Structure 1
Amino acid sequence: MSSSADKESVLQLQEILVGAENVVEFLSGLSGLAAAAVSEAANDRIECAVTLKLRRRPATAAGSSERAVQLDHVEQAIGDGPCVKALREMSAVMIDDVASDPRWPAYNQALAERNVHSTLGVPLEISGAASAALNFFATKPRVFTADVYEKAVGFAAAAHSTLHLSVRIKTAENRAEDLEAALESRTAINLACGVIMAQNRCSQAEAMEILTKVSSNRNRKLRDVARELIEQLTGSGIQTHFDA
Structure 2
Amino acid sequence: MTNSPEHELLLELQDLIVGTGSVAEFLGGLSVSAASALSRSAGTAIECGVTLKHGRRTATVGGSTDRAVELDRIEQQVGDGPCIAALKVKQPVLLADVRTDPRWPDYQQRLIEEGVQSVLGVPLELSQGATAALNFFSPVTDAFSKAVIDEAVSFADVARNAVGLAVRVATAEDAADDLSAAMASRTAINLACGIIMGQNRCTQNEAMDILIKVSSHRNQKLRVVAEEIVTKVSGAGPTTYFDM
Shift in Å, 1:243: 5.2
AA aligned opposite 1:222: L
Residue equivalent to 2:25: 25
Aligned to 2:185: 185
Following superposition, the deviation at residue 222 of structure 1 comes to: 2.4
Report the aligned-residue RMSD: 2.1
1:89 is displaced (CA, Å) by: 0.9
Unaligned runs of 5+ in 2: none
| 1:195 corresponds to | 195
**Residues 124-174 of structure 1, C-alpha deviation per residue, up to 9 Å, x if partnerless?**
001261111001111111111122111111100110111111111111011
After superposition, give the CA deviation of every residue in 1:33-86 in whole Å (9 maximum; x if it has no partner): 111111111122111111111111321111111111111111001111100000
Q: Which amino acid aligns with 1:8?
A: E
Cα distance, 1:206 vs structure 2: 2.2
Relative to structure 1, is the Cα distance of residues 235 and 45 closer, same or farther in structure 2, using a 3 angstrom cutoff?
farther
Q: How does 1:7-26 map to 2 (within 5 A)?
A: 7-26=7-26
After TM superposition, list the pairs within 5 Å mapping 1:127-142 onto structure 2: 127=127, 129-142=129-142
Matches of 2:23 and 2:150, distance apart in 1:
26
* Secondary structure of residue in 2 paired with 1:127: coil
User: Residues 39 and 45 of structure 2 are in contact (CA less than 8 Å); yes or no, is this contact kept in structure 1?
Assistant: yes
State the alpha-carbon separation in 1 of the partners of residues 122 and 206 from structure 2.
Answer: 59
Distance in 1 (alpha carbons) for counterparts of 2:132 and 2:185: 34
User: Partners of 2:240 and 2:204 in 1: how far apart?
Assistant: 20
1:208 shift after superposition: 1.4
**In structure 2, what is the equivalent of residue 159 of structure 1?**
159
Equivalences, count: 242
SS in 2 for 1:181: helix
Residue 121 (1) aligns with residue 142 (2): no
Unaligned runs of 5+ in 1: none
- For the 8 Å contact 2:48–2:64, the answer to whether it is kept is yes
Q: CA deviation at 1:200?
A: 1.9
Aligned residue identity for 1:158: V
Alpha carbons of structure 1 residues 203 and 37: separation in structure 2 relative to 1, 3 Å: same
Q: Which residue of 1 aligns with 2:77?
A: 77
Identity across the alignment (%)? 54
